[in-house]
Structure 1
Amino acid sequence: MNHFCAVPFKSTNMKVLIVFNHPYEGSYCNAILQSVTAGLKKAGHEVDLIHLDQDEFNPVMTANDLNAFRKKTPVDPVVIAYKARLINADHIIFIFPIWWELMPAMMKGFIDKVIFPGVAYDYKDASNTLMKPLLTKLKSVTMITTMNTPCWLYALIFGNAIKKAMLLGTFWKMGYKNRKWISFNRVKMVTPEKREKWLNKLESRFSSLS
């Protein structure tokens, strides 16, 4: 389930926000981060990295956070700082491993605490059902994941749970139209040569992001 776009794009300078979550520096996710960053910089894009692990981001929704959610105004200073970076982003790229079929706790906490009403979306009417996007600069959302589960098993048994949770249950529901998922499966089982090939393709792909 590795999807690589072969259509060339004319590149223009943009701000790309990368939201990254993996605690181990030697992980394949970190190698992906390096390849994606290299490709973006090769294209002349500005890269803004939110490294949740290095930031020691607290993913827990407190009572104060929930009250702020209701008021559509975040109170966590880290979340407020992240908000400003979200607003300026032309593209957002999420990079993380899939653990027990979904994202790690910090990434889930980022979605809970930062993809906030009044920040990333609002409601179209008083019924609080239909949503509208508020990040007006945002052109696309890309999710890059790693896992050891075969792609057919993840799709057949677990229904591509991360796609449903992130790209459909979050960004589609808010009204963001350009959404992509790049999935690397059986990462520990494939050869080092194949992993290197994946990284090269990633760098090439993001060097033509527009």
Structure 2
Amino acid sequence: MRVLVLYAHPVETSFHAALHARVVQILRAAGHEVDDCDLYAEDFNPVLSREERLNYRDTTCNTAGVADYVQRLQRAEALVLCFPTWCFGLPAILKGFFDRVFVPGVAFDISDPAHVQPGLAHLRHIAAVVTYGRPRWMAWAMGDPPRKVITRYLRALCGRGVRIRYHARYHMNVATRDQLEGFTQRVEAALRKLPT
């Protein structure tokens, strides 16, 4: 299966960097064709410009600045997102990727605004590997926006046939090495089950 991995963390020595490397390794070892998109390494610009916002609904030109990323997304059959949660939200670079790449004509059809249709029906599987500094109860109290973006927003863009898995490690601030290794092993086991 063609898998687009979206990775968003700026520190190469972080736990999330090691987790991302394992995700890519497991997917490749399982026989998947992996397109590893490290948003920081690729220097992705997350800022939606004035011109892009003005042309947002114009499907003839709204992807001009991100055409390569659109092609990579459209080629994928599965999407795996690896990111930390900061301030109970997505890292700005990943949010900017959604703002600039998941546009009308790509992620959804808005030609009839009263009946918006999903545009990512080619995605059969989505998995998120997410870390949180704070405990789960606090994320829940805040509404856990990252979980909703992955499990609700992306589902709406893909349609009912997509399978979504959300792997979260809460309370990173006090996690032991054994707990982190256990989380990594659970993620690896889940990704090995992704059909090729």
Report the Cα distance in structure 2 between the residues aligned to 1:44 and 1:52, rounded to whole angstroms: 24
Q: Does residue 163 in structure 1 map to residue 147 in structure 2?
A: yes
Report the Cα distance in structure 1 between the residues aligned to 2:180 and 2:138, rounded to whole angstroms: 20
| Structure 1: gaps (5+ residues) | 1-13
Q: Does residue 172 in structure 1 map to residue 155 in structure 2?
A: yes
2:56 and 2:62 in contact (8 A); partners too = yes
Report the Cα distance in structure 1 between the residues aligned to 2:62 and 2:129, rounded to whole angstroms: 27
2:19 and 2:184 in contact (8 A); partners too = yes
Q: Does residue 112 in structure 1 map to residue 112 in structure 2?
A: no
TM-superposed CA distance for 1:166, in Å, is: 3.7
Report the Cα distance in structure 2 between the residues aligned to 1:42 and 1:58, rounded to whole angstroms: 31
TM-superposed CA distance for 1:122, in Å, is: 0.6
**What's the Cα RMSD here?**
1.7
Report the Cα distance in structure 2 between the residues aligned to 1:69 and 1:179, rounded to whole angstroms: 27
Q: Does residue 204 in structure 1 map to residue 182 in structure 2?
A: no
Q: Secondary structure at the match of 1:32?
A: helix
Report the Cα distance in structure 2 between the residues aligned to 1:175 and 1:135, rounded to whole angstroms: 4
Q: Secondary structure at the match of 2:128?
A: strand
Q: Does residue 74 in structure 1 map to residue 62 in structure 2?
A: yes
Partner of 2:128: 143
> Relative contact order: is structure 1 or structure 2 higher (C-alpha 8 Å, sep ≥ 6)?
1
| Structure 2: gaps (5+ residues) | none
Report the Cα distance in structure 2 between the residues aligned to 1:25 and 1:183, rounded to whole angstroms: 20
Report the Cα distance in structure 2 between the residues aligned to 1:203 and 1:192, rounded to whole angstroms: 16
TM-superposed CA distance for 1:200, in Å, is: 2.1
Change (3 A) 1:203 1:164: closer
Q: Does residue 22 in structure 1 map to residue 9 in structure 2?
A: yes
Partner of 1:33: 20
2:108 and 2:157 in contact (8 A); partners too = yes
TM-superposed CA distance for 1:175, in Å, is: 4.3
Aligned amino acid, residue 34 of structure 2:
V
TM-superposed CA distance for 1:174, in Å, is: 2.4
Change (3 A) 1:32 1:130: farther
Aligned amino acid, residue 144 of structure 2:
N
Q: Secondary structure at the match of 1:70?
A: coil
Structure 1's consecutive aligned runs of 4 or more residues displaced over 3 angstroms after TM superposition are none
